[in-house]
Amino acid sequence: MKNIFTSLFFLLNFCILTIAQNSPYERLSNQDLLPEDYITPSFDKYTESLKKSNRNEDSFENEKDREKFYLEITYAVDELLRSGYILYNDPIGKYVNKVLEVVVESNPILKEKKPRVYILRSTAVNAFALDQGIIFMSIGLLSQLENEAQLALILAHELVHVQENHGLEEFLETIKVDRKLSKNKRLNTKQLDIAALEKNRYSRDQEMEADDLGLTYFLNTNYSFESIQRVFDILRYSYLPFDEIVFEKNVLEKISVSLPVELFLEEVKAINPAEEDEEQSTHPALSKRNEQFAQRLKGMAVNEKKDYLISKESFLDIQLRSRVELARLFLNRQSLAEAIYAGFLMTKIYGETDFTREIIGKALYGLSKYHNNELSEKLTSPYYKDIEGQSQQVFHLIHKLSDKELNILAIAYNYHRYLNAPDNKTLRALIVDLFADLHMFHEANSLNEFYTIELPETANDTTSLDKGKELSKIDKIKQNRKGKKEGDVKWHLLAFSEVLNDTDFRSIATEGFKAGKKLQEEKDHFSSSTYEGRRNLQNYRNKINKKGRSLGVKKVLVVNPLFIHLDGSKSKPKLGRIKSNQRRVALKEIISSSAVLNDVKVEFIDGNSLKANDVDQLNDLVATKEWVDNQFNTEGFLSLGYNQEYIEKIASKYGTDYFLSLSVISQEPSTFLGRLFNKNIKSFLAVTIFDVTNGRRSYIKSDFGPFSLDDVFLKSELYDVFFQISK
C-alpha cells in the first residue's frame, strides 16, 4: 500500500514545500506552552497519587507496596517526559491527538482519565500507555503506518491499557509472583524461569484483552476496518525500513565517483522473519492476535466507513514528518548505514532534496570519522550478513570499502553538496575536516595522487562522444582535460576528476591538509610510542596536576547537570528518586556560587526547572544534549556534530562557545550506622567542557572513590573546577 501513493506523496510534498514556514523538512520542535505533565513537580504528583489511592479501594497488601508503585511510576514517567525524547505540541502530536479524540468521543467511558498522546523520539516501532492517561507513540511506528484507521486502532488498543489500569495490575502481579519465591527458590534457576514465564503469561493476557476490547472501541467509530489487520504485518516486519526499494548506487556517485559493481551484492538476503516464541515474550504471537481479529471481523460490512476521518493530507504530512525525523534519529543514534538507506528511500518516494543530501552526507562523514579512528564498533549498525532486504546493499558497501575509500567518498559527496550551497560555512568546515583525516590516516599531503580522466579517441561504450552531439558539462570536462585513462587507476583516485583543478576545491583541500598536519604534530607530541612523546605527555600531566587546565574561559552553558543518589548496599543499590531530585536542586546553587567566586558567568539549560513558557529553552536543551552525547561517543577524536549548524546558533544565543557537562553519582548506605562508619560509600564526579566550534573537550575533573559527596565537599570540588576554567 505504501508504493501506490508514490505520485500522491510527491505532489503533496511539492505543495507543502512551497509553504516554507511549515516545511515537513524542518527540525521537529516543541511548540506553544509546555503541558502540566511536564511542569508539575514530581513530588507533588507523587503525593497527589497517594491521596487518590487512599480514597479509592485498591488491591495493595500494604502501604509500602502502594508507596513504591506510585513513587517509581511517577518519577520514572517524569524522567522520560523531561529527557528530551518527548515532543510537545508539535505537528505530529497535534494530529495524533485529534485521532485520539475521535476514538474517545465514540467511547465516552474513556474520557474519565483525560487520555493524551505524546510523541516519542525513538526509531523503535512501539507504543505504550500508563495508568495516568498518558500514551507514548514512537516516530518509528508512525513512519511505518499506512493510513489513519490503522493509527486509530493502535490508539484504541493503548486506551484499554489506560482504562483497565494494566500498569498497576502488572505491578501487583509481579509482587505476587515474587513473594511466592522463598529465599532458597530465588537461588534456583528453574524456579526463576517459572516465575518469569508466569509474569509473561499475565502480560500476554493483558495484551489479548487490549486487542479484544480495543477492537470494540475501534468499531464504535466510523473508521474502516479493511486495512487494520495489516497492522500485524507492519509489526511483523517492523525490523525493516519503512519501505523496500532496490538501492541505486548512483545516489552516492557525486562529482566523478563511479563505484565498481564488485562493491555490491548480486542478490540480497531474503526477508524471512524469525518465528515467534510466545512463551518467552510479554506479547502474544502476532499470528494469534491476527486470527482473533479475523474471527471478530468475519461477515461484517464496511458500509460507509472510511480510512480517514480527520484528513488524508494530514496523515500523509505526519507520515513524511515522521520519516524525516527518523532519518535524523538514525544519525543521532549512530545508526549511519540506516540513515543512508532512509535518505535514499526518501529520494525515491518524495524526490531528492537538500534534506536527503544532508542526511546521506552527514552519515558518510560520521562513518569516515569512526572508521578512520578505529571505532566502528561504537556504531549501532549490525553486521551486513545479518541484514535482510534491499538495505543490505548499503551495509555491504560500507563493509567492503577501505577506510581511505570511505574517506574519499565522503569528501566527494559533501563537496557536491557544497557546490549547491557555497555559503554554508559549517559544510565547508566538515569537508576541511575530512581532508585533515585524509592526511592524518592516509598520508595524503596534496592532491597529486588524484587524476583527471582522458577518454580514448574512439570509445565503444555508452560514454562515447559522437560528432555533432550536444555535449553535457561532464562530457566537455572529460574531453578537454588530460590525465590518466579511466581504466588505468582505481575508482577513488578518479573521484575528484571533475573539480580537481577548481580553485575553491584546491583551497579547501590545502586548508584540510594543513589542519591535518597540525593535528598530527599535536598527536606525535604526546605519542606513547616514542621516548620524547612519553616525556612530553608526562610533563603535561604534571603541569595539569599542579596548576590545573587554565582554560581562560569566562562564560559557560551548563547542560542539564545530573545528580543521582543511590541508597542501599554496594551489591544492590537502589535509586533514591526523591533525594536525587533534592540534591539536583542544591547542585545548581553550588555551581552558581562557585562560578561567581571565580568570576565565571554561567547559564543553565535544565529540563527539571522549566516553566510553561520555556519551550524555546527546552528545544535548546534537546539539541545540546544530542550534541554533547555525540561528542562523548567519539572518545577523543574531533568531530562536528550532526546538528552542528543548530548548535552554533544556540552558542551565539547564549553568548558562549563552551558547554559544560557535569555528572554526580553518590551511593550511601540506607542505615544510620552505615553512614556513620562510611560503610560502602561510593561517589563519582565528572566535569567536562566542550568547545562548540571544533568539538575539542577538556576533562576538568573525574573523581571516583569511597568519599561522601555532601554539600561542603561539592563546594570545594566545584570551586576548583571553575578556578581551572577561569585561569
CA dist., res. 373 & res. 367, Å (int): 10
Report if residue 220 sits inside a domain.
yes
Q: Cell 474513556 appears where?
A: 110
Asked which of 318, 343, 362 is the last residue of a domain, the reply is: 318
The per-residue pLDDT for range 227-257, each reduced to its tens digit, is: 999 999 999 999 999 999 999 999 999 999 9
Q: Which of 106, 102, 104, 45 is nearest to 73 (CA)?
A: 45
482 pLDDT tier (thresholds 50, 70, 90): very low
- Give the pLDDT of residue 417: 97
Strands 682-691, 697-705: pairing is: antiparallel
Tell whether the model's pLDDT for residue 153 goes beyond 60. yes
Tell whether the model's pLDDT for residue 675 goes beyond 60. no
- Give the pLDDT of residue 594: 95
CA distances from residue 704 to 26, 520, 564, 581, 709 in whole angstroms, order as listed: 42, 32, 14, 21, 11
CA dist., res. 73 & res. 84, Å (int): 18
Q: Which of 100, 121, 135, 155 is nearest to 324 (CA)?
A: 121
CA dist., res. 234 & res. 180, Å (int): 39
Report the SS3 class of residue 575. Answer: strand
For the ranges 153-167, 493-507, 676-690, which has the lowest average pLDDT? Answer: 676-690
- Give the pLDDT of residue 410: 98
- Give the pLDDT of residue 180: 61
Q: Which of 250, 256, 249, 254 is nearest to 495 (CA)?
A: 256
CA distances from residue 460 to 393, 457, 476, 607 in whole angstroms, order as listed: 30, 10, 18, 65
DSSP 531-547: HHHHHHHHHHHHHHHHH
Q: Are residues 150 and 298 in the same domain?
A: yes
Identity of the amino acid at 727: K
- Give the pLDDT of residue 332: 93
Report the SS3 class of residue 475. Answer: helix
Report if residue 441 sits inside a domain.
yes
Report if residue 20 sits inside a domain.
no
CA distances from residue 22 to 92, 222, 367 in whole angstroms, order as listed: 12, 30, 31
Identity of the amino acid at 348: K
Please answer whether residues 343 and 363 qualify as being in contact, where contact means their C-beta atoms are separated by less than 8 angstroms.
yes
Q: Are residues 562 and 692 in the same domain?
A: yes
Asked which of 497, 517, 537 is the last residue of a domain, the reply is: 517
Q: Which residues pair with 658 in a beta bridge?
A: 691
CA dist., res. 368 & res. 434, Å (int): 8
Q: Cell 482473533 appears where?
A: 292
Q: Cell 509473561 appears where?
A: 200
Q: Which residues pair with 667 in a beta bridge?
A: 566, 682
Residue 507, Cβ neighbours under 10 Å: how many? 12
Nearest 5°: CA angle at 319, between 315 and 321? 115
Identity of the amino acid at 615: V
Residue 120, Cβ neighbours under 10 Å: how many? 22
What mean pLDDT comes out for the span 631-658? 91
What mean pLDDT comes out for the span 78-85? 93
Identity of the amino acid at 317: D
- Cell representation of residue 431: 569537508
Q: Which residues pair with 219 in a beta bridge?
A: none
The per-residue pLDDT for range 529-538, each reduced to its tens digit, is: 777 777 876 7
- Give the pLDDT of residue 443: 93
The per-residue pLDDT for range 88-102, each reduced to its tens digit, is: 999 999 999 999 999
Q: Are residues 428 and 564 in the same domain?
A: no
CA 433 to chain centre: 23
CA dist., res. 727 & res. 722, Å (int): 9
Higher pLDDT, 589 or 61: 589
Please answer whether residues 379 and 334 qualify as being in contact, where contact means their C-beta atoms are separated by less than 8 angstroms.
yes
Residue 55, Cβ neighbours under 10 Å: how many? 8
Q: Are residues 291 and 345 in the same domain?
A: no
The per-residue pLDDT for range 339-350, each reduced to its tens digit, is: 999 999 999 999
- Give the pLDDT of residue 177: 58
Residue 151, Cβ neighbours under 10 Å: how many? 28
Q: Are residues 92 and 151 in the same domain?
A: yes
Tell whether the model's pLDDT for residue 653 goes beyond 80. yes
Please answer whether residues 185 and 269 qualify as being in contact, where contact means their C-beta atoms are separated by less than 8 angstroms.
no
| CB hemisphere CA count around 48 (13 angstroms) | 8
Tell whether the model's pLDDT for residue 172 goes beyond 60. yes
Q: Are residues 314 and 355 in the same domain?
A: no
- Give the pLDDT of residue 333: 93
Q: Report the CATH number that the domain containing residue 609 is assigned in CATH.
A: 3.40.50
Q: Are residues 497 and 610 in the same domain?
A: no
| CB hemisphere CA count around 220 (13 angstroms) | 17
Report if residue 251 sits inside a domain.
no
Q: What is the mean pLDDT of the chain?
A: 85
Identity of the amino acid at 242: F
77 pLDDT tier (thresholds 50, 70, 90): very high
Report if residue 329 sits inside a domain.
no
Identity of the amino acid at 685: L
Q: Are residues 35 and 155 in the same domain?
A: yes
The per-residue pLDDT for range 349-359, each reduced to its tens digit, is: 999 999 999 99
CA dist., res. 640 & res. 441, Å (int): 18
Please answer whether residues 173 and 123 qualify as being in contact, where contact means their C-beta atoms are separated by less than 8 angstroms.
no
What mean pLDDT comes out for the span 457-465? 40
Q: Which of 48, 111, 121 is nearest to 81 (CA)?
A: 121
186 pLDDT tier (thresholds 50, 70, 90): very low
For the chain, how long is the longest CA-to-CA vector?
A: 96
Q: Are residues 300 and 342 in the same domain?
A: no
The per-residue pLDDT for range 597-628, each reduced to its tens digit, is: 999 999 999 998 899 999 999 999 999 999 99
CA dist., res. 465 & res. 454, Å (int): 12
In terms of residue numbers, what domain contains 206? 29-241+284-318
- Cell representation of residue 370: 569512526
- Cell representation of residue 351: 524526490
Q: Which residues pair with 435 in a beta bridge?
A: none
What mean pLDDT comes out for the span 635-641? 82
Q: Which of 205, 436, 251, 480 is nearest to 352 (CA)?
A: 251
The per-residue pLDDT for range 100-123, each reduced to its tens digit, is: 999 999 999 999 999 999 999 999
Report if residue 434 sits inside a domain.
yes
Tell whether the model's pLDDT for residue 472 goes beyond 90. no
Structurally, how many domains does the chain consist of? 3
Q: Are residues 33 and 61 in the same domain?
A: yes
Report if residue 260 sits inside a domain.
no
The per-residue pLDDT for range 262-288, each reduced to its tens digit, is: 999 999 999 998 776 655 566 778 888
Please answer whether residues 240 and 271 qualify as being in contact, where contact means their C-beta atoms are separated by less than 8 angstroms.
yes
Tell whether the model's pLDDT for residue 385 goes beyond 90. yes
CA distances from residue 219 to 292, 297, 633 in whole angstroms, order as listed: 15, 10, 48
Residue 400, Cβ neighbours under 10 Å: how many? 16
The per-residue pLDDT for range 406-444, each reduced to its tens digit, is: 999 999 999 999 999 999 999 999 999 999 999 999 999
CA 395 to chain centre: 19
- Give the pLDDT of residue 572: 64
- Cell representation of residue 459: 570509445
Number of H helices, E strands in the chain: 26, 11
**Phi, psi of 277, deg, nearest 5:** -100, 90
Q: Are residues 91 and 237 in the same domain?
A: yes
Q: What percent of the chain has pLDDT over 70?
A: 81
Report if residue 553 sits inside a domain.
yes
Residue 555, Cβ neighbours under 10 Å: how many? 16
Please answer whether residues 138 and 124 qualify as being in contact, where contact means their C-beta atoms are separated by less than 8 angstroms.
yes
The per-residue pLDDT for range 59-75, each reduced to its tens digit, is: 677 778 888 888 888 99
Tell whether the model's pLDDT for residue 1 goes beyond 50. no
Q: Are residues 348 and 220 in the same domain?
A: no
CA dist., res. 626 & res. 642, Å (int): 9
